[in-house]
Amino acid sequence: GAVVSQHPSRVICKSGTSVKIECRSLDFQATTMFWYRQFPKQSLMLMATSNEGSKATYEQGVEKDKFLINHASLTLSTLTVTSAHPEDSSFYICSAPGLAGINIQYFGAGTRLSVL
Amino acid sequence: AQKVTQAQTEISVVEKEDVTLDCVYETRDTTYYLFWYKQPPSGELVFLIRRNSFDEQNEISGRYSWNFQKSTSSFNFTITASQVVDSAVYFCALSVGGTSYGKLTFGQGTILTVHP
């Protein structure tokens, strides 16, 4: 079964509203999680690294105030798209390092955000 | 900075044909990991293989095989006797440093369509 759960899988919202996306590691702790963004027919681009108990590390060009990341526990990271606009419509995917000894990243199923 | 290039944007084959997906990477790090992921229409990324920079052995897993050549910075993926279920987007990715679960740099992806 899936080791990283991402919710919701799809969200449609009006322009100006905020949307929260959750990423949970199942049966293991993740002090670090990653958030990626994928536009249609394009590659995945790393947005930020989520660190449990400390501030997220954002990639160059990603607006910190637009994409708020909170990693309040060892199994949960959230991405909040604040005041969403149509250009924020995208596929957002989280990942977490795998179980000790396996050492790979596991990805969530992704969240498709559509901003009207 | 790291870079991954998948020169083939789209490939179309007929079932039972063999197909090779190319991947070329760039990094100045001597320790790194290479990955292939499959993304079916559902969007969820499926891990296929991980290879570290010190292991150039080719690998075969069923109909899948991988050819890693450091001399040409390539990590190509071959599907033998392709099937319709192989239709998906395939991503090659790179992670640098001593762990294989750091942030990933993805290639642009190759859309593979296998026709019956």
- Reported as a single tens digit per residue, the pLDDT across A32-57 is 999 999 988 889 999 999 988 889 99
Q: Out of A79-88, B69-78, B93-102, which region has the weakest mean confidence (pLDDT)?
A: B93-102
Q: Do A41 and B107 touch (CB under 8 A)?
A: no
A103 touches chain B (CB under 8 A): yes
For a pLDDT cut of 70, what percent of chain A falls above it? 94
Cβ separation A107–B107 shorter than 8 A: no
Q: Is B75 exposed, middle or buried (0-12, 13-18, 19+ CB in 10 A)?
A: buried
A55 Cβ contact list (under 8 Å, min separation 6): none
User: Given an 8 Å threshold on Cβ–Cβ distance, is B106 in contact with A110?
Assistant: no
- The pair phi, psi for residue B101, each rounded to 5°, is -120, 30
Q: What is the mean predicted confidence (pLDDT) over B97-116?
A: 88
